[in-house]
């Protein structure tokens, strides 16, 4: 059961942190207006964050500090699999000449953990640490297809199925039908469901009977199409996930 009560001061603090990240820095007045709090309250929270070295002040602008990076790296190390994943996706990126990501699920979100870039890789919406909805990503569908039905229903109840493009699946029944196909084929596709002109293919990493994440290749739709989408990339990605699974098993 999820908690129904929160600490108001903590809520305010995290709202400030999220706004500072979204805006890449802000002043006291701007933050107060954004979150609907008194300037004095926002200032007190910023002073606390600065004293604890979680923000830096540049003239009248406050920005998040590198102290958060230490937490992020520590958490990623806790997840493990760095040695097994990074070498495998680096080879895959070299083979396909596109961007390759390892994505995990946390709190019903897709979280981008590791990346490797091929020679023709293009910059997309993704970045290490970014959190997104699962349903419009090939990696997210791979993960959802390997979770228990009740867990998927819980995620959809919490997160919904927001539309990113005209191709995004926003109907629950349609999504479950696609997840069934993903489960049968062992591979997922997302054709321009997150952003126009970008498509992806993904397969899950399964270890000890549980989905530990997904490997996805992301690139321009004009290159990830036809036989690449149906045959070439699925085979290469499944080979990579199998390699990782074997390393986890016997490493």
Query: Is residue 73 in some structural domain?
Result: no
Whether residue 2 has pLDDT greater than 90? no
Q: Are residues 47 and 84 in the same domain?
A: no
CA angle 228, 194, 111 (to 5 degrees): 95
What are the pLDDT digits (tens) for 14-25?
Answer: 999 999 999 999
Whether residue 163 has pLDDT greater than 90? yes
Query: Is residue 70 in some structural domain?
Result: no
Counted domains in the chain:
2
What are the pLDDT digits (tens) for 89-124?
Answer: 999 999 999 999 999 999 999 999 999 999 999 877
Q: Are residues 47 and 100 in the same domain?
A: no
| pLDDT recorded at residue 176 | 98
Query: Is residue 194 in some structural domain?
Result: yes
Length in residues, the chain: 251
Instruction: Kindly report the CATH number assigned to the domain that includes residue 240.
Output: 3.30.450.40
CA distance 222 to 199: 9
Q: Are residues 56 and 145 in the same domain?
A: no
What are the pLDDT digits (tens) for 50-95?
Answer: 999 999 999 999 999 999 999 988 888 887 789 999 999 999 999 9
Could you list the residue range(s) of the whole structural domain that residue 162 is in? 78-250
What are the pLDDT digits (tens) for 165-210?
Answer: 999 999 999 999 999 999 999 999 999 999 999 999 999 999 999 9
Q: Are residues 182 and 227 in the same domain?
A: yes
Query: Is residue 171 in some structural domain?
Result: yes
**CB of 199 closer than 8 Å to CB of 190:** yes
Q: Which of 41, 65, 89 is the last residue of a domain?
A: 65
């Amino acid at each position: 059961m999820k908690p129904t009560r929160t600490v108001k001061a903590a809520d305010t603090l995290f709202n400030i942190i999220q706004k500072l990240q979204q805006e890449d820095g802000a002043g006291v007045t701007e933050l107060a207006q954004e979150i609907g709090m008194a300037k004095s309250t926002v200032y007190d929270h910023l002073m606390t964050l600065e004293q604890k070295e979680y923000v830096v002040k540049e003239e009248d602008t406050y920005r998040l500090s590198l102290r958060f990076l230490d937490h992020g790296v520590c958490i990623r190390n806790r997840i493990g699999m760095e040695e097994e994943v990074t070498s495998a996706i680096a080879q895959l990126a070299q083979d396909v000449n596109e961007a390759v990501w390892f994505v995990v699920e946390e709190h019903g979100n897709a979280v981008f953990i590791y990346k490797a870039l091929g020679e023709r890789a293009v910059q997309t919406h993704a970045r290490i640490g970014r959190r997104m909805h699962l349903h419009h990503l090939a990696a997210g569908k791979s993960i959802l297809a390997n979770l228990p039905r009740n867990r998927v229903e819980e995620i959809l109840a919490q997160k919904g199925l927001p539309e990113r493009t005209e191709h995004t699946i926003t109907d629950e029944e349609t999504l479950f039908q696609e997840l069934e196909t993903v489960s049968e084929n062992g591979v997922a596709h997302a054709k321009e469901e997150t952003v126009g002109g970008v498509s992806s293919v993904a397969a899950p990493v399964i270890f000890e009977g549980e989905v530990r994440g997904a490997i996805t290749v992301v690139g321009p739709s004009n290159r990830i199409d036809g036989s690449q989408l149906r045959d070439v990339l699925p085979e290469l990605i499944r080979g990579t996930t199998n390699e990782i699974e074997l390393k986890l098993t016997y490493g």
